[in-house]
Chain A
Amino acid sequence: MSAIHIENLVKSYEKGKVKALKSISLDIEEGELFGLIGPDGSGKTTLFRILTTLILPDSGNATLMGLDVVEDFWEIRKIVGYMPGRFSLYQDLSIEENLNFFATVFNTTVAENYHLIEDIYVQIEPFKKRRAGKLSGGMKQKLALCCALIHEPKVLLLDEPTTGVDPVSRKEFWDMLGRLKEKGITVVVSTPYMDEASRCDRIALMQDGQIMEMDSLKNILQKHPQHLYAVRSKDMHRLLFDLRNFEGMKSAFAFGDEHHAVLGKGSDDPNQLFDFLQLKGHEQLAIRPISPEIEDVFIQLMQAQES
């Protein structure tokens, strides 16, 4: 049985003017660490809010552990742990008091489920008398995770937990999620960071309220092979323009301090491209083949969707 089953879920805001989710279907297995990856406004938070029973879908249905999000919402609230994108604990209560409060709200005690949060809690325990509002970003994140875990949820939904967190804390956070997965908890994480895809068992690439692709990272990369080249020259601005004028160029976009160029089938000879660019008068030209990453695939899929 899938832990989360979603079928043709549709949700729009402002009387249908803003379509947040355009018929989404997806299945997440029990004990899976699943990533929802997509830019801001792609519908990740709306999906979470439906799954946590905070809002009702317009149509379609969704179940968590076999429980319907509309019909069985009281039961769902007992088995779901939710960490919203914005830090939303009581700023004027201490770490300890927040944790106790949420334990009580879920009819349990901290002692009962301490084994679940121990790894994380020990890191913030020295500050347990400190008010939540006075904690650093990373500590707030850990406290919020503890609070979401304290009732031993079967499904953990984390909405952009690593946004605005420093790289070291981000890495730590994903390590923690890995350990939770080992304990059998189904974890769904949304993130705008493509590089976090490698930490998930499977990912769904979301854009504009739709899922463009869903599989493991490896399979997605295999499914979308690209003749991808990293190109540099002295005049990067003109280079991008010229790249786009090259016949057989599928797409070209700035990527860090290089440009990524995707060549179409049949015209994937980098030497031809090199000659073409040299004719255009580019100096210090360098072209090297690279293997595509998730971000390249995302951009490709996005462009395909737009055209």
Chain B
Amino acid sequence: MRNIKFLLQKEFRQIFRNTAILRLILAMPIIQLILIPLAADYEVKNINIAVVDNDHSGYSRRLTEKMKASGYFKLTDYSESYRKAEAAIGRSETDIILTIPRGFERDLIREQNTELQLAADAVNGIKAGLGAVYAQQIIVSFNQEIRAEWTNGLSLKQKVPVTISSALWYNAEVNYYLFMVPGILVILVTMVGSFLAALNIVSEKEIGTMEQINVSPLKKHEFILGKLIPFWVLGMTSITIGMFVAYLIYGILPIGSFLVIYTYAALYLLAVLGIGLLVSTFADNQQQATLFAFFMMMIFILMSGLYTPVDSMPEWAQWVARFNPPAYFIRLIRAVYIKGSGFEDLGPEFLITAAFAVVFNALAIFNYNKRG
């Protein structure tokens, strides 16, 4: 016990002397929480649209105005030439072309039927997809508007026998931050817990102090605990800072209890510290550890459901995601923040994470045990 106390004292002393790491731990949550949600916003604005108006009628102008007024689109070109608009796409000046055919107004009134063409530049898939969807919505609403005018708003309901009304639960206003910010917190804690710990241990290997400790009668578990505890504390600190920053900047507070988050975080940190420990057993220097951390972080982030839902991945990728610890924390922290889930709803997450903690730490200790 005396040994562990002393190891901790030494470890914290070193951490507090390493101002670069300390600043990183403090600044990282703040900067990441400010920047990433803004950058990762899926709402696409400022889509450049070119309208090729072959009709020049009241309706065609009204549709164009409606597009402009929506806030999503910026009218870059309004002409009669499809070829000209297409050339603008080639120069990346336009994202979407809306072509209004000749006789658009006439056909609409006489035959109650006409066609419009939307062409999107799919080099940027998200912008093209969302832009096309927004444009369609606007066209549908334009359609309803004019029909309502003709029938004086009476027969709309008769004409559309089925109406679908959708309600968004838990996050009714689709607050993007509420969804993104807790997820980013998880990535932060993962980085502190796994890779800072790994780098720290590998640096002891690099400077040779590891060897000095290995020739001493210090027990393995004492050494490992001496490393795990400080980074566990750092991880808990960084999630606390992160939640505070999330409240301060975005006004986000969990609906559920902090107790659930902290209890889970305590367990989760054990699991990711196990990963860090494992990395440190086979990396010989900090360069190797850093490169490996970089590679792992990409997988952690992209396969965690932070940006894209895991359910929409192919079957094999979903299996990979099942072995990805951050995926569970992200699911859990979102549930607690947005739905207010409690312990009773989150049993599987707790159990699986506990299993991760046991497996990773056991692997690490097994690997560390080997003497050349």
Give the interface of A toward B (CB within 8 A): 49, 52-56, 74, 77-78, 80, 82, 84, 86-93, 97, 101-102, 104-107, 147
| Residue B266, interface by CB 8 Å | no
**B207 near A82 (CB under 8 angstroms)?**
no
**A93 near B10 (CB under 8 angstroms)?**
yes
Q: Please measure, in the bound complex, the distance between the C-alpha atom of A178 and the C-alpha atom of B213, giving whole angstroms.
A: 27
**A54 near B214 (CB under 8 angstroms)?**
yes
Q: Hey, which chain A residues are within 8 Å of B6, CB to CB?
A: 101, 104-105
| Residue B83, interface by CB 8 Å | no
**B217 near A78 (CB under 8 angstroms)?**
yes
Q: Hey, which chain A residues are within 8 Å of B2, CB to CB?
A: 104
User: Which one of B3, B18, B212, B214 contacts A92 once the chains associate, using CB atoms below 8 Å?
Assistant: B18
Q: Hey, which chain B residues are within 8 Å of A86, CB to CB?
A: 208
**B371 near A55 (CB under 8 angstroms)?**
yes
Q: Please measure, in the bound complex, the distance between the C-alpha atom of A166 and the C-alpha atom of B143, giving whole angstroms.
A: 91
User: Which one of B209, B213, B217 contacts A74 once the chains associate, using CB atoms below 8 Å?
Assistant: B217
**A88 near B217 (CB under 8 angstroms)?**
no
Given A55-B371, A93-B14, A84 and B208 contact (CB-CB distance below 8 Å): yes
Given A87-B208, A92-B18, A104-B3, A52 and B217 contact (CB-CB distance below 8 Å): no
| Residue B159, interface by CB 8 Å | no
**B211 near A88 (CB under 8 angstroms)?**
yes
**Interface readout for B198-222 with A: 1 if CB under 8 Å, 0 if not?**
0000000001110111111110000
Q: Hey, which chain B residues are within 8 Å of A104, CB to CB?
A: 2-3, 6
Q: Hey, which chain A residues are within 8 Å of B372, CB to CB?
A: 49, 54-56
**A105 near B211 (CB under 8 angstroms)?**
no
User: Which one of B17, B212, B214 contacts A102 once the chains associate, using CB atoms below 8 Å?
Assistant: B212
Q: Hey, which chain A residues are within 8 Å of B371, CB to CB?
A: 53-56
| Residue B110, interface by CB 8 Å | no
Q: Hey, which chain B residues are within 8 Å of A80, CB to CB?
A: 215
**B10 near A84 (CB under 8 angstroms)?**
no
| Residue B13, interface by CB 8 Å | yes
**B208 near A92 (CB under 8 angstroms)?**
no
A-B contact pairs, 14 of them (CB 8 A): A49-B372, A54-B215, A74-B217, A78-B217, A82-B212, A88-B207, A88-B211, A90-B209, A92-B18, A93-B13, A102-B212, A105-B213, A107-B217, A147-B212
Q: Please measure, in the bound complex, the distance between the C-alpha atom of A88 and the C-alpha atom of B204, giving whole angstroms.
A: 9
Q: How far is the CB of B20 from chain A (nearest CB, A)?
A: 11
Q: Hey, which chain A residues are within 8 Å of B18, CB to CB?
A: 92
Residue among A88, A93, A105 with most chain B CB within 10 A = A105
User: Which one of A54, A84, A90 contacts B14 once the chains associate, using CB atoms below 8 Å?
Assistant: A90
Size category, B interface: 20 to 34
5 more contacts with CB within 8 A, not counting A88-B211, A105-B6, are A54-B371, A90-B207, A97-B10, A106-B217, A107-B3
Q: Hey, which chain A residues are within 8 Å of B209, CB to CB?
A: 88-90
**B217 near A91 (CB under 8 angstroms)?**
no
Q: Please measure, in the bound complex, the distance between the C-alpha atom of A93 and the C-alpha atom of B18, giving whole angstroms.
A: 11
Q: How far is the CB of A157 from chain B (nearest CB, A)?
A: 9
Q: Hey, which chain B residues are within 8 Å of A56, CB to CB?
A: 371-372
- CB-CB contacts below 8 Å: B115-135 with A: none
Q: How far is the CB of A62 from chain B (nearest CB, A)?
A: 14
Q: Please measure, in the bound complex, the distance between the C-alpha atom of A245 and the C-alpha atom of B209, giving whole angstroms.
A: 53
Q: Hey, which chain B residues are within 8 Å of A93, CB to CB?
A: 10, 13-14
Q: Please measure, in the bound complex, the distance between the C-alpha atom of A84 and the C-alpha atom of B211, giving whole angstroms.
A: 8
The residue in chain A whose Cβ has the minimal distance to the Cβ of B204 is: A90
Q: Please measure, in the bound complex, the distance between the C-alpha atom of A89 and the C-alpha atom of B213, giving whole angstroms.
A: 10
**B10 near A101 (CB under 8 angstroms)?**
yes
Q: Please measure, in the bound complex, the distance between the C-alpha atom of A147 and the C-alpha atom of B212, giving whole angstroms.
A: 10
Q: Please measure, in the bound complex, the distance between the C-alpha atom of A40 and the C-alpha atom of B372, giving whole angstroms.
A: 21
Q: Please measure, in the bound complex, the distance between the C-alpha atom of A101 and the C-alpha atom of B223, giving whole angstroms.
A: 13
Q: How far is the CB of B275 from chain A (nearest CB, A)?
A: 25
Q: Please measure, in the bound complex, the distance between the C-alpha atom of A183 and the C-alpha atom of B217, giving whole angstroms.
A: 23
**B14 near A88 (CB under 8 angstroms)?**
no
**B216 near A77 (CB under 8 angstroms)?**
yes
Q: Please measure, in the bound complex, the distance between the C-alpha atom of A92 and the C-alpha atom of B118, giving whole angstroms.
A: 64
Q: How far is the CB of B281 from chain A (nearest CB, A)?
A: 15
**Interface readout for B358-372 with A: 1 if CB under 8 Å, 0 if not?**
000000000000011
**B215 near A53 (CB under 8 angstroms)?**
yes
Q: Please measure, in the bound complex, the distance between the C-alpha atom of A90 and the C-alpha atom of B17, giving whole angstroms.
A: 12
Q: Please measure, in the bound complex, the distance between the C-alpha atom of A86 and the C-alpha atom of B207, giving whole angstroms.
A: 8
**A84 near B207 (CB under 8 angstroms)?**
no
Q: How far is the CB of A75 from chain B (nearest CB, A)?
A: 9
Given A55-B372, A92-B14, A92-B18, A106 and B216 contact (CB-CB distance below 8 Å): yes
Q: Hey, which chain B residues are within 8 Å of A101, CB to CB?
A: 6, 10
Q: How far is the CB of B211 from chain A (nearest CB, A)?
A: 6
Q: Please measure, in the bound complex, the distance between the C-alpha atom of A86 and the C-alpha atom of B216, giving whole angstroms.
A: 17
Q: Hey, which chain A residues are within 8 Å of B212, CB to CB?
A: 82, 84, 88-89, 102, 147
Q: Please measure, in the bound complex, the distance between the C-alpha atom of A279 and the C-alpha atom of B17, giving whole angstroms.
A: 73
Q: Hey, which chain A residues are within 8 Å of B217, CB to CB?
A: 74, 77-78, 105-107
User: Which one of A77, A87, A90 contacts B215 once the chains associate, using CB atoms below 8 Å?
Assistant: A77
Q: How far is the CB of B7 from chain A (nearest CB, A)?
A: 8
Q: How far is the CB of B290 from chain A (nearest CB, A)?
A: 19
Q: Please measure, in the bound complex, the distance between the C-alpha atom of A55 and the C-alpha atom of B215, giving whole angstroms.
A: 10
Q: How far is the CB of B205 from chain A (nearest CB, A)?
A: 10
**Interface readout for B268-292 with A: 1 if CB under 8 Å, 0 if not?**
0000000000000000000000000
